[in-house]
Copies of this chain bind each other. A is one copy, B any other.
Amino acid sequence: MKNIAFALICLIGIAEGYSQQVNTADSLMIRKIYDTSLLNGKSYDWLDHLSNEIGGRLSGSLEAELAVKYTESELKKLGLDKVWLQPVMVPKWTRGVKEYAYIETAPGITSTTDICALGGSVPTPAGGLKAYVVEVQNFEELAELGRENIEGKIVFYNRPMQANLINTFQAYGGCVSQRYAGAMEAAKYGAVGVVVRSMNLRKDDLPHTGAMSYGDTPPNLRIPACAISTNGADYLSNALKLMPNLKFYFRQTCKTFPDVQSYNVIGEITGSTYPDRYMIVGGHLDSWDLGDGSHDDGAGCVQSMEVLRLFKEVGYRPKHSIRVVLFMNEENGLRGGRKYAEEARLKNEKHVFALESDAGGFTPRGFSFDTDEANFAQIESWKSLFEPYLIHSFLRGGSGADIGPLKDGTVVLAGLRPDSQRYFDHHHAENDTFDAVNKRELEIGGATMASLVYLMDKYGTKTELGEIKN
């Protein structure tokens, strides 16, 4: 019974803190935020333009620069206190002409299959690359096979996403090493190329691109890497069981250019009470090039813009300075996120809260937080305010890639967590398009973010209030 008594005392403590903080004014303000977002939202129109008028926004591309100009100009229409561009040098990698691949089961007997170059890959030789294939599930198998079984061959990484994980990001986390490090690992054993099963829980014909790295592999030892669709991977795997001596051919003309100038796009409402304390909300403006980047991360960008617009619309004047930051180059470099944090430190800008939306524009379920227990307890005390909107999941865990560089032990970091079931059907593939985003789901996400920023602004973080000494 002792433990129960202790738990009850804790509950009383929580209940008291809660009653201090959550009141009818908050409920009404949050209702107003959701109503405005759903009845008079702007995010869907912005996304329509980004997706359908501009399209995929790979770092260094014309589309990325058009997106910078468009979002800057839209932010300027909102009557914010400041809107500016923060220069950042970004990598420039281009896909070249559409990739081509086939499986050759006997000389002259081929079937084409759907691939795309992984982001950052070197090209194949101009005439393409054809070799025997060795299929593996992971790097351990690669090591067991050793150079004698791998040299001169194409390594085919075929570890599928684990379908019984409810959180599909966890399933992604269990596979993504094949894509990111597959080429550099295979090159160690003399492989000539790499084919990676797409990170997709669905069976379809769409290859999914994404970042890869050669680490410190010398340039002359770098091998081309491509993704194959899940249907293509299953076909190739089955074919290999019947005909281990089949060959795989692929051709890609991708290329890396010197870094180019780009920008983070930033807008600010200056705080009424703490103008020198910053809370930021953001997404990344760059995307992969296959689709139009509607879910990843056009949605996060327009939701973040909407947070500031909603504050204006509902007449909420924040105490802290609230910034929207549209980061450049999350996908293949994270240069924008690093630059923002670097400059904040140089200027001694005190950041107290950062929220990122980079998990798709689907129905929001909650947030994950990278913070300490005291801050998390305060946030949890607000849970009931979100219940009418079916926002229920408040967890400690990751936040967002772009805001990660701000981490310093005092800033509270958070990520919006939408329903994840459909996300990897579209992620980094040509079907990450506007029609896959539902207007209401997008708008509820923006309102959910605005409501959290409102509460953080009104009550301050626990760290900021000096209730915890770091």
| Residue in B closest to A167 when the chains form the complex, CB atoms | B390
| Closest-CB distance, A363 to chain B (whole angstroms) | 5
| Residue in B closest to A419 when the chains form the complex, CB atoms | B363
Interface pick from A4-12, A120-128, A259-267, A348-356: A4-12
Partner of A8, one of B8, B164, B421, B439: B8
B444 & A166 in contact (Cβ 8 Å cutoff) = yes
Known: A15-B4, A363-B421. A392 touches B392 (CB 8 A): yes
Q: Is A35 an interface residue (CB 8 A)?
A: yes
Interface size class of A (residues with CB under 8 A): 20 to 34
Determine how many copies of this chain the complex contains: 2
B440 & A421 in contact (Cβ 8 Å cutoff) = yes
Q: Is A143 an interface residue (CB 8 A)?
A: no
Residue-wise, chain A 420-447 has the 8 Å CB interface mask toward B (1 for contact) of 0110010000000000001111001000
Partner of A438, one of B38, B389, B422: B422
Residue-wise, chain A 141-179 has the 8 Å CB interface mask toward B (1 for contact) of 000000000000000000000011010100000000000
Q: Contact residues of A with B, CB < 8 Å?
A: 4, 8, 11-12, 15, 34-35, 38-39, 163-164, 166, 168, 201-202, 363, 365, 388-390, 392-393, 419, 421-422, 425, 438-441, 444
Q: List 17 A-B contacts (CB under 8 A).
A: A4-B15, A8-B12, A35-B164, A39-B163, A163-B440, A166-B444, A201-B440, A363-B419, A390-B392, A390-B393, A392-B392, A392-B393, A419-B419, A421-B438, A421-B444, A422-B441, A425-B438
List the 6 closest pairs (A to B, CB-CB), nearest first. A392-B392, A38-B164, A35-B164, A421-B440, A38-B163, A421-B441
